[in-house]
Structures are given as C-alpha cells and as structure tokens.
Amino acid sequence: MDMYYHEIEIAKAVADAGVRAVLTYGSADVFFQRTPEEEFKIADDFREKLEGLCKERDIKDRLFYAYGPHSPYGCTRELLEIFKEKSAETGTRIHIHLAETLSEFNDIKEKTGYTPIKYLDSFGFLSDRVMAAHVVWVAEEEFSILKERGVHVLHNPISNLKLASGVSPVPKMLDYGINVALATDGPASNNRLDMFREMHVAAIIHKGVAKDPKIVPAKTVLEMATVNAAKALGLENMIGSIEVGKRADLVILNLEKGTQGTPEHDPYSMIVYSLDTSFVESVMVNGQWVYYNGEFTTIKIDELREKVQSIRERLMQEAGIA
C-alpha cells in the first residue's frame, strides 16, 4: 500500500513491475489550504485515472484504490465527513494516520475536547473500512472502541522508533481481538521498507516493553504481515495465505543462502528471528515471477539505480546543497 502524492506515476510503476498495490492520494485540506470539496475532487480525479489505467493495462486484480485523508489534524471535519459518507456508499477502504504522537494526542484534545480516536468516533468516522496507521497513543477506554468499530490498525514499529513517537500498545490490541497488520511507513521515516526487519523489531520490542518473552510470538507477527494485512486491505479473499482459489502471491526462501538457515527448526521463528531478505530466492505475484533465482524479471535494476541517483543529485543541486 502506498499513500501521498504523484500516485498515478506510482501506479504506472506498479503496473510495469508486475506487483500488487492499494494506492491512495494523501488528502489534507488543512495543509494545502483548499476547501474540502476541492481536496476531495483531487482524490476522486486520481481514482478515475487509476481506474482508467487498470482498464488500459488489464490489471484490475493488481491495482486498487483507497481514500487517504492524511490525519485528524491534516483534514477538516468537513473533509473527513465527505470521506466517511463516500466510503459508506461505495465500500471503499480509508487509510488515515491516527494517534501517532503525543503532541497530536494533546493538540486534538485541546481543539476538539476529544482524543484523536474519540474525535473520529464522535461523528461516526470509524468503521471496519478504516485502516488506521500507527495508533501509538491510545486511552484505556479506546481499545473497546477500535474493536467494536472493526478498525484495522497498521503497526509501524521502526518508524515509531526512528521518530521517537512511542511504542504502539499492540499486545493489548491483540488481546481485544483488534486486527493488527504490519506496515513500514514511508522512506522518510523508515529508510529500508524491509518487512523482514519490520517483523523482527515487532517481535522483540513488545517483549522488552512488557518484560515478557512470550507476548507477540513469531507466528502472530508473521500473521500480522500476511493474513492480517490482507484483511486490513479488504483483500483477504484474494491474498494473504496459500489457499485454493486465492492468487498465487509467493515468497520463496532458500535456507542455504546463509548460516542463519541452519539448523532448520520452527519456520515461524526462523522467518521472524533469523532470516532476512538475503534468503529470498524468488517472488511470484499473481502467478508470475517478478524475482526469480536472485534476479528481477520485470525491472532493469542497474538502470533504475542510475536513474534514482541522478534524481537525487538534481534535487540536491536545485536545493543548493549539492
């Protein structure tokens, strides 16, 4: 899943690379000083362009759209109400940053009289179509709200650590039966976007905080990265697990690629605690190899590296810091 700007270019890259994605435009009428109607139109225009690209490239089963109001502080209540109503009409998922920092928690409470979660719940925004990123600062009585509304929480442990936002109370969410999925956040706050690393950190950080080596076990973390993530995206009938009738999205690991693959023992523990991306031998999306025997099949990686480096140099020059 990706959120923010230049999303139609990201959609084209997704199409070319042969991968699967849910894309959103990061709407924020407060930041950009636009009316709620103007800001929603930009998001809706992107939806139309995305649908056109899917039809043109015949990839409706690989590219999906979600609404993307940035946050309770980046959007007016009026804009959030529009997204809530449109989501209810169409069944479209909503992605939003929620309760990420203590300053957000305090600022929203000062301005509205509610904590961020209670603020959104006060006008019926929260539902089982909402994917809430971060959710670090949660009041005791709000766990039941998240559970009752069916909100999906996207846990970003490395980003939360890098930005010193805090540690999301994931163990308690899991105890409440809240669907918690694993995510990375963006490259500005998580340079690697590495799901193996994310799983490892998610598995150990909560043990340290709670001083309990048994909580958030490896199997649970792997489920957060797979089946729970698919459920959060609303794609659990298509992806997330290997089952008859689901799309063939597979990651093939070769345990002989490093010493950490020996001895073979519990596969969940090995994936979460021992292995990393160097053990990935092949990746299949929708039944097609996009990475095979250590080589990308849809991307010319050397050309891409050169292009990205040249863009970096141009931006540095334009900023006067080259």
User: Per-residue pLDDT tens for 74-117?
Assistant: 999 999 999 999 999 999 999 999 999 999 999 999 999 999 99
Tokens of 82: 């529009």
Element (H, E) at 292: strand 288-292
Beta strands at 180-182 and 250-253: parallel, antiparallel or unpaired: unpaired
Helix (H, G, I), strand (E, B) or coil at 98: strand
* Maximum Cα interatomic distance, the chain, rounded to a whole number of Å: 60
CATH code where residue 317 lies: 2.30.40.10
278 has pLDDT over 70: yes
CATH code where residue 195 lies: 3.20.20.140
Note whether 223 and 257 are same-domain residues: no
Please name the residues in contact with 184: beta carbons below 8 A apart, sequence gap of 6 or more: 156, 158, 159, 190, 192, 193, 194, 195, 198
The tokens 């996207």 sit on which residue? Answer: 154
Residue ending a domain, choose from 10, 41, 71 = 71
Residue 1: pLDDT band (50, 70, 90) is very high
250 has pLDDT over 90: yes
CA 161 to chain centre: 16
Whole-model pTM: value is: 0.95
Residue ending a domain, choose from 241, 269, 290 = 241
Note whether 150 and 186 are same-domain residues: yes
Asked, for residue 144, whether it belongs to a domain, the answer is yes
CA 310 to chain centre: 28
Note whether 145 and 13 are same-domain residues: no
Q: What is the DSSP letter of 69?
A: B
What's the pLDDT at 140? 96
What's the pLDDT at 5? 87
Asked, for residue 81, whether it belongs to a domain, the answer is no
Mean pLDDT for the stretch of residues 229-253: 97
Please name the residues in contact with 249: beta carbons below 8 A apart, sequence gap of 6 or more: 20, 239, 284, 285, 286
Helix (H, G, I), strand (E, B) or coil at 8: helix
**CA neighbor of 260 nearest in space, from 246, 271, 250:** 271
Asked, for residue 77, whether it belongs to a domain, the answer is no
User: How far apart are alpha carbons 10 and 87 in whole angstroms?
Assistant: 23
262 has pLDDT over 70: yes
223 has pLDDT over 90: yes
Average pLDDT across the chain, whole number: 97
Note whether 100 and 237 are same-domain residues: yes
Asked, for residue 22, whether it belongs to a domain, the answer is yes
Task: Output the DSSP codes for 69-116.
Answer: B--TTTS-HHHHHHHHHHHHHH---EEEEES-SHHHHHHHHHHHSS-H
Note whether 187 and 295 are same-domain residues: no
**CB-count exposure of residue 81 (10 Å: 0-12, 13-18, 19+):** middle
Q: For 22-47, what is each residue's pLDDT tens digit? A: 999 999 999 999 999 999 999 999 99
Note whether 10 and 28 are same-domain residues: yes
Domain that holds residue 287: 248-322
Asked, for residue 87, whether it belongs to a domain, the answer is no
**CA neighbor of 160 nearest in space, from 143, 130, 183:** 183
Note whether 234 and 138 are same-domain residues: yes
Q: What percent of the chain has pLDDT over 70?
A: 100
Note whether 218 and 106 are same-domain residues: yes
Residue ending a domain, choose from 241, 265, 285 = 241
User: How far apart are alpha carbons 305 and 191 in whole angstroms?
Assistant: 16
Asked, for residue 29, whether it belongs to a domain, the answer is yes
Count of structural domains within the chain? 3
What's the pLDDT at 160? 98
CA dihedral 224, 228, 232, 235 (to 10 degrees): 130
Whether the ω angle into residue 263 lies within 30 degrees of 0, i.e. cis, is yes
Residue 316: pLDDT band (50, 70, 90) is very high
User: How far apart are alpha carbons 54 and 43 in whole angstroms?
Assistant: 17
What's the pLDDT at 322? 67
Note whether 226 and 267 are same-domain residues: no
**CA neighbor of 8 nearest in space, from 41, 43, 40, 38:** 43
What's the pLDDT at 54? 96
Asked, for residue 80, whether it belongs to a domain, the answer is no
